[in-house]
Structure 1
Amino acid sequence: MDGPTLTGHSGGMHRREPLGGAEFAPETTYLNSASSGLLPARSAVALRAALDESASYGTMGRDYFGAAAASREAFARLLGVPAERVAVGSSVAVQSAFVASALPAGAEVLAPEGDFSSLLNPLAAHPGIKLRTVPLEALADAVRPGTALVAFSAVQSLDGRIADMAAVREAARAHGARTYLDITQAAGWLPLRADGFDFVVAGAFKWLLCPRGVTFMAFGGEYGRGEEWPAAPYAGWVAGEDIGASNYGLVRPAATARRFDEPHAHYSYVGAEQSLGLLNELGVETVHGHNTALAEYYRAGLAERGLTPRAAPGSAIVSTPGIADAEHRLAEAGVRISVRGGLLRAAFHLYNSTDDVDRLLALVG
């Protein structure tokens, strides 16, 4: 995808202002969306109203399911899938444990080395699963007969590398393997479609700008379209077809992916409805162009200083060795950033600007 015309430092770039207007006015220079995102103003307003409402109507509010349903719909629009194929939950780790439970005894799971722990640990801990890891770049070639599942992140949390999702998907199909794609570090800025993968999970508190406690699982493949859904080992009353009659005893599960819903954190989904609404208004393509332009501007500035980040073409995450000791200096100057694996990790999102990049470069050295 073509990026913006560059002009400025190192040939530079046209000044780029934040997206979202009055939705964001951070007191910090916030470059840490790979850890957690900023909450839009509209989401904060909705959360305060929900808290006030709870003083008279209880902590489930007047409409416990409304915000979760709207969030499900908004997430489905972002991913281009029907809302009936999306479940709501609380964490990626819980969803990974669910996927593990859907595999047969003795199943081989293939995954990239060093992928995020919430994706890998529940798979490795499940009795009978054999977890095999290979370098990310070798993932598609490593799928073999007998591989039951390929589990991987669309974007690596550590250094922003983007997986060759199409190659992995096709290799898995060729060997009859399921696919489990974690889009936590991709959803909200990287254009994606979920319908080509069997399981797609997203922790929404990073690039999707939602409160912590919002997670979505989208189902692709033939699940629910002729093929039976997997068992729902964590199903509770919210997963019943008739929620009003699902409080007691054994109930009939929902006909849609809602059968995998967890009882959701109400306040978190009140905020999520608003945050996801903003992203749908702006459009992921627009956010993608903005974020990657800033990342390229930063890479150019690093190169002028003789610094070389980890290779991650097209990524909004830039992780650089040799300057991790700058984190303390940056924090004192009000720049929020992170260090992972000895790399200074900068993550550029819609509320960032070229001024933020210039400030970061000046402080890095």
Structure 2
Amino acid sequence: MAVGLAGSPHQLTGNGPMSTVGDVVDCEIRKWGGESFTVPAGYLNTASIGIPPASTADAVQTAVTNWRTGAARAPEFDEPVRIARAGWARLIGVPTDRVAIGASVSQLVGLVAATVPDGARVLTAANEFTSVSFPFAAQHARGVRVDEAPLADVPRLAPDYDLVAVSVVQSADGALVDLEALRASEARVLLDVTQAAGWLPLSLDWASWVVGASYKWLFAPRGAAWMAGGEAELASLMPHSANWYGGEEPWQSVYGLPLRLAESARAFDLSPVWFAQAGAAVSVNWLAELDLAAVRDHCVGLANQVLAGLGLPEGESAIIALDLPDAGARLAAHGIATASRAGQTRLAFALYNTSEDAQAVLTALRG
């Protein structure tokens, strides 16, 4: 039976052959946009760890096999790095030459935090994911002040601050910041797209900074992250993690002075985590070719199927948080994978989820 968006080239197909992964979990082969995913029924934890398409897992496995057998050669990973960088740039709507690579969001945000002026005032959302807020709070010895405000108030307050640092989609409950209002405020803004990129269409070339990690809706291994900056912002950024890979010609900047960094955002590159980049080159590039409006409608539609079934107001996010007694335990008893965040049970819907997954939630909670 086909489920998802009937007639769409990005149609999701369920009820495929069952497989057993590691002799532990029965999984279903589900397809979207020509890719196959091996998904346990009721897997609603993409906001913690995304499941890779088969081609991404195969690329990582090949890289591991080459490493294991001595066939790996370091320069061979330059091409996956290039492809993943370009794919992520397309996903968020920025030029590729304004994107640097890293290993985690906090490491990249830390570069920005270390460069804000002494005494700068930074605004973030209340209960923001700390990889966004902690790097700025850690600058307190320089007089940097970080204030929290309710997410809905952030755009209104933004002009009073030197920088706003906020996630596009909140990790704890899936709430979306008002991007249009933030843009209209003309404030300097750092946006974390880790819980948004891959399911939410984005066009963020107006933002001062955009950061994001690889291992949720981008379906790649943990260990790859990216940062985009505006031209003026990149020109003022100090390359505190300067290394050989940030050179204009990386394999010619391995030894010796003088400092010779790239003229583009590559000057801020961290030496890549090879296996993560090998996977990201496949899944991120694939996602950048999809109709993300269709992906968003599918994911949000499943989230709203659950909310409506529970008599709760529908939303606009692929992430929902349920404040119901024992919800996590009741869902786990039915084999449904979720996460506990900020005292609530978090459910996250991805393109490989189905209406049956949403119905299983309702069955478990109503029971």
TM-score by length of 2: 0.87
Which of 255, 261, 272 pairs up with 1:248?
A: 255
Contact 2:308/2:314 (CA < 8 Å) preserved in 1?
no
1:161-206 Cα shifts (integer Å, max 9, x gaps) = 11011212322x2xxx421001111111111112010110011211
**Structure 1 moving runs of 4+ over 2 Å:** 15-19, 55-62, 220-224, 280-283, 328-334
Indicate the SS of the match to 2:38: coil
1:290-342 Cα shifts (integer Å, max 9, x gaps) = 11111111111111xxxx3xx6731111111124x132332243211112122
Aligned equivalents of 1:144 and 1:293: distance in 2? 34
Aligned partner letter, 1:321: D
Which of 274, 281, 285 pairs up with 1:273?
A: 281
1:132 pairs with 2:142: no
Which of 193, 198, 216 pairs up with 1:206?
A: 216
Aligned equivalents of 1:286 and 1:61: distance in 2? 38
Contact 1:31/1:337 (CA < 8 Å) preserved in 2?
yes
Aligned equivalents of 1:229 and 1:105: distance in 2? 15
Contact 2:41/2:357 (CA < 8 Å) preserved in 1?
no
Of residues 77-86 and 193-202 in structure 1, the stretch that sits farther from structure 2 once superposed is: 77-86
Structure 1 segments unaligned to the other structure (5+ residues): 6-14
Contact 1:253/1:259 (CA < 8 Å) preserved in 2?
yes
Q: Which residue of 1 aligns with 2:135?
A: 122
Give the fraction of aligned pairs with identical amino acids, expressed as a percent. 36
Which of 268, 288, 298 pairs up with 2:296?
A: 288
Q: Which residue of 2 aligns with 1:155?
A: 169
Indicate the SS of the match to 1:63: helix
Contact 1:24/1:40 (CA < 8 Å) preserved in 2?
yes
Q: How does 1:158-307 map to 2 (within 5 A)?
A: 158-171=172-185, 173=186, 177-220=187-230, 222-223=232-233, 228-250=235-257, 251-303=259-311
Indicate the SS of the match to 2:76: coil
Q: Which residue of 2 aligns with 1:8?
A: none
Contact 1:50/1:61 (CA < 8 Å) preserved in 2?
no
Contact 1:161/1:312 (CA < 8 Å) preserved in 2?
no
Of residues 20-29 and 147-156 in structure 1, the stretch that sits farther from structure 2 once superposed is: 20-29
Aligned equivalents of 1:256 and 1:94: distance in 2? 19
Aligned equivalents of 2:164 and 2:73: distance in 1? 37
Which of 46, 49, 52 pairs up with 1:33?
A: 46
1:240-273 Cα shifts (integer Å, max 9, x gaps) = 1121221123321101111111011101110111
Superposition deviation, residue 283 in structure 1: 2.6
1:226-249 Cα shifts (integer Å, max 9, x gaps) = xx2411111100001121221123
Aligned equivalents of 2:307 and 2:67: distance in 1? 47
Aligned equivalents of 2:73 and 2:127: distance in 1? 39
Contact 1:196/1:221 (CA < 8 Å) preserved in 2?
no
Contact 1:321/1:343 (CA < 8 Å) preserved in 2?
yes
Superposition deviation, residue 28 in structure 1: 3.9
Count of residues in correspondence between the two structures: 338
Aligned partner letter, 1:230: L
CA distance 1:295–1:239, shift in 2 (3 Å): same
Aligned equivalents of 1:57 and 1:25: distance in 2? 29
Which of 74, 79, 85 pairs up with 1:66?
A: 79
Superposition deviation, residue 62 in structure 1: 5.4
1:66-119 Cα shifts (integer Å, max 9, x gaps) = 111110011112122211111111111111111101211111111111100111
Structure 2 segments unaligned to the other structure (5+ residues): 6-11, 15-29
Q: Which residue of 2 aligns with 1:76?
A: 89
Contact 1:162/1:312 (CA < 8 Å) preserved in 2?
no
Q: Which residue of 2 aligns with 1:100?
A: 113
Q: Which residue of 1 aligns with 2:20?
A: none
Aligned equivalents of 1:28 and 1:180: distance in 2? 36
Contact 2:122/2:147 (CA < 8 Å) preserved in 1?
yes
Aligned equivalents of 1:204 and 1:120: distance in 2? 19
Aligned equivalents of 2:332 and 2:292: distance in 1? 30
Aligned partner letter, 1:350: L
Superposition deviation, residue 27 in structure 1: 2.9
Q: Which residue of 2 aligns with 1:10?
A: none
Aligned equivalents of 1:58 and 1:329: distance in 2? 48
Q: Which residue of 2 aligns with 1:346?
A: 347
